Chain A
């Protein structure tokens, strides 16, 4: 195996090890970039220039900062508490059902191109996660931190999975245009964006079925975990002299 072929890969073990050993990710990623650049013979200034260029040209990734003032203001005035109280007034609401409903709405609206209708800063943190937690605490009382975290993580996962497998059905989405452009460049000119959008539907349906199946079992799993946690507490209390 040619060493020149392996050198560009040196960043990968650095990232994997650094993340696994839980060093600060900013440091790990920067080091991986620096080492990779130097390993393939770029000089330090060239690496620095690549860093700066890519950092500047990806500033749109920090756009969740725009949403923080609104969310902060509303949370200060009890948005989370209101979301939980509102869910409590709906008798059939449960964590699993709320997430399932959100999942379907999010995937269908993404397929229609309405990508900004959800998102982690705008809907998951202020609305979805508090509602999903609220529904669980209505049934089980105050939630232990690990259950709260699990429900919140499920809310975020719900948004990701629904968005990813819905958006490619929408023919004006960047990924579909990228695929069409790639095929054209490589001499395959008879594929329309519509065809790619249509062939995205089977996977989108699979993702829908698989994730809804998991969410349909979530309520029972939460109840079981809370039961175990309470037993653990009682056991501790009982063992005290």
Chain B
């Protein structure tokens, strides 16, 4: 172990939260699907609590197969519509208003503490050493900082509101129930991305895009590069995955080598063309679908719908910016 607060510790913490949620769900008679819902969260939580232990005892290939099987069961439970939510014991708006009046702006302190402590630790916590070893995981600085910030914010929150930790866990379950399967979707998509990489989907897309390339027309090349960055990002849900494929396929041979474009603006703007795609796809779940679930929107695609006009306008801007800035 090379740091005191390691990434493993953060995963254990997440695992504990999920397991508590699963336990509370199991005991909740108001949820008509409580057994399958509890199983769903238990399976998800076990990849956090026992994943690293399994790697230690079973080795990587076996662990990955077991987790793969767990993933299939999780998808099955969600797909068979066996995920339910309890009817929440709600104190109602009146009680919350009263509490808000009593506590006033002090309520903002723990909420603001999360980003502030996280940023503070990422900026100044990197060099922190305790007894000769790093305090924070050097490779996962943001995540370990975030975990510490959340623990700090909970401590401050308990002090200000004077309530017990049980309340925090019970309220987490309410939120987890409301968000539901969307919490797991980002990891499932990372998994699909992994299969696409193994299946060389990128090479196929590159070959198809190249059918449309006219090496003589500079403007057409710029347009195809930007549009294919956006489109492939929409498929992969991640511009980082699309960038090497499309840049090696179009930008490098045609725009940079043949037309002598300036590489810096081409790659910078090309990546942004990919980001325009990110704004328009449900595959970028942690940006587009999880927030819709967090905000309890009726239409899970509404965030994407709001982003599409901006994304298309910026995409058009990118095409012209690249055409004029990379070829002076």
- A-contact bits for B284-328, CB 8 A (1 contact / 0 none): 011111111011011100110111011001100110010001000
- A91 at interface, CB cutoff 8 A: no
**7 closest cross-chain pairs (CB), A and B:** A72-B171, A78-B100, A27-B79, A52-B64, A52-B67, A48-B68, A54-B194
Q: Which residues of A contact B13 (CB under 8 A)?
A: 66
Interface residues on B, range: 35 or more
| Given known contacts A86-B105, A161-B310, A149 and B65 CB-to-CB distance under 8 angstroms | no
Residue A241 lies at the interface, judged by CB distance under 8 Å to chain B:
no
Pairwise interchain contact B181-A24, C-beta atoms closer than 8 A: yes
Enumerate chain B residues within 8 angstroms of A85, measured Cβ to Cβ.
100-101
Answer whether residue B3 sits at the interface, using C-beta atoms and an 8 A cutoff.
Answer: no
| Complexed CA–CA distance, A46 and B298 (Å) | 38
| In the bound complex, CA of A39 to CA of B295 (Å) | 38
Rounded to whole Å, the gap between the CB of B199 and the closest CB of chain A is 4
Shortest Cβ gap from B172 to chain A (Å): 4
| Cβ A50 vs Cβ B154 within 8 A | no
**In the complex with contacts A55-B187, A81-B96, A115-B142, A70-B244 CB distance below 8 A:** no
Interchain CA distance A229-B201 in the complex, whole Å = 47
Contact with B along A1-35 (1 / 0, CB 8 A): 00001111101100100010001111101111100
> Is the C-beta of B215 less than 8 angstroms from some C-beta in chain A?
no
Q: Are B47 and A56 in contact (CB under 8 A)?
A: yes
B14 touches A63 (CB 8 A): yes
In the complex, besides A78-B101, A161-B279, A188-B256, 16 extra interface pairs with C-beta distance below 8 angstroms are: A19-B282, A37-B195, A45-B65, A51-B67, A51-B72, A51-B191, A52-B67, A52-B70, A53-B67, A69-B154, A82-B100, A126-B111, A156-B292, A157-B303, A164-B278, A188-B263
Please tell me if the beta carbons of B103 and A77 are within 8 angstroms of each other in the complex: yes
Q: Which of B31-39, B128-136, B145-153 contacts A (4 or more CB under 8 A)?
A: B145-153
Among candidates A49, A58, A119, A165, residue contacting B115 with C-beta atoms closer than 8 Å: A119
Chain B interface (Cβ < 8 Å from any Cβ of A) = 7, 10-11, 13-14, 17-18, 47-48, 51, 60-61, 63-72, 74-76, 78-79, 81, 91, 93, 96-101, 103-105, 107-108, 110-111, 114-115, 118-119, 122, 140, 142-143, 145-147, 150, 153-154, 157-158, 161, 163, 167-172, 174-176, 181-196, 198-201, 203-205, 207-208, 235, 239-240, 243-244, 247-248, 252, 256, 263-265, 267-269, 271-272, 275, 278-279, 282-283, 285-292, 294-295, 297-299, 302-303, 305-307, 309-310, 313-314, 317-318, 321, 325
Could you say which of B208, B240, B264, B303 contacts A153, with CB atoms under 8 Å apart? B303
Of the residues A51, A116, A157, contact of B142 by C-beta under 8 Å: A116
Task: Decide yes or no: A182 and B240 within 8 Å by CB, A29-B192, A48-B68, A70-B111 being known contacts.
Answer: no
Considering the chains assembled together, what is the distance between the CA atoms of A121 and B293 in angstroms?
Answer: 11
- Chain A residues with Cβ below 8 Å from B114 are 67, 70, 122
- B-side interface mostly: helix
Within 8 A of B (CB), among A195-209: 195-200, 202-203, 206-207
How many residues from A make CB contacts under 8 Å with B? 117
Q: Indicate which residue in A56, A149, A210 contacts B297 across the interface (CB closer than 8 Å).
A: A149
6 A–B contacts, CB within 8 A, in A order: A33-B192, A36-B192, A61-B190, A78-B98, A123-B111, A188-B263
Q: Is the CB of B198 within 8 A of A11?
A: no
Q: How far is the CB of B326 from chain A (nearest CB, A)?
A: 9
Q: Does residue A240 face the partner (Cβ distance < 8 Å to B)? A: no
User: Which residues of chain B come closer than 8 Å to A220, judged between CB atoms?
Assistant: none
Known contacts: A82-B100, A120-B290, A182-B244. The answer to whether A52 contacts B66 by CB under 8 A is: yes
Cα-based distance from A32 to B193 in the complex (angstroms): 10
| Bound Cα distance A175, B270 (Å) | 11
Shortest distance from the beta carbon of A6 to any chain B beta carbon, whole Å? 7
Bound-state CA distance A196–B286 (Å) is: 26
Q: Are B78 and A55 in contact (CB under 8 A)?
A: no
Contact B48 A59 (CB under 8 A): yes
Known: A73-B154, A78-B99, A117-B119. A60 touches B143 (CB 8 A): yes
Kindly state the separation between the CA atoms of A6 and B207 in the bound complex, as whole angstroms.
Answer: 10
Tell me the bound Cα distance from A203 to B201 in angstroms: 29
The reply to whether A5 and B67 form a contact with Cβ atoms under 8 Å apart is no
Evaluate contact between B292 and A70: CB separation under 8 angstroms: no
Query: Is B271's CB under 8 angstroms from A175's CB?
Result: yes
A200 touches B171 (CB 8 A): no
Do B288 and A160 have beta carbons less than 8 Å apart? yes
Within the assembled complex, what's the spacing in Å between the Cα atoms of A19 and B280?
A: 13
CB of A123 within 8 A of CB of B244, answer no
CA distance A199 to B31 in the complex (A): 53
- Inter-chain contact A68/B175, CB cutoff 8 Å: yes
In the complex, the chain B residue whose C-beta lies closest to that of A67 is: B150
Contact of A29 among B142, B185, B267, B268 (CB under 8 A): B185
Is A114 within 8 A of B78, CB to CB? no
For B68, what are the chain A residues with a Cβ–Cβ distance below 8 Å?
Answer: 47-52, 55
B61 to chain A, nearest CB (A): 6
Q: Are A160 and B187 also in contact (CB < 8 A) when A8-B201, A69-B169 are?
A: no
CA distance in complex: A39, B200 (Å): 12
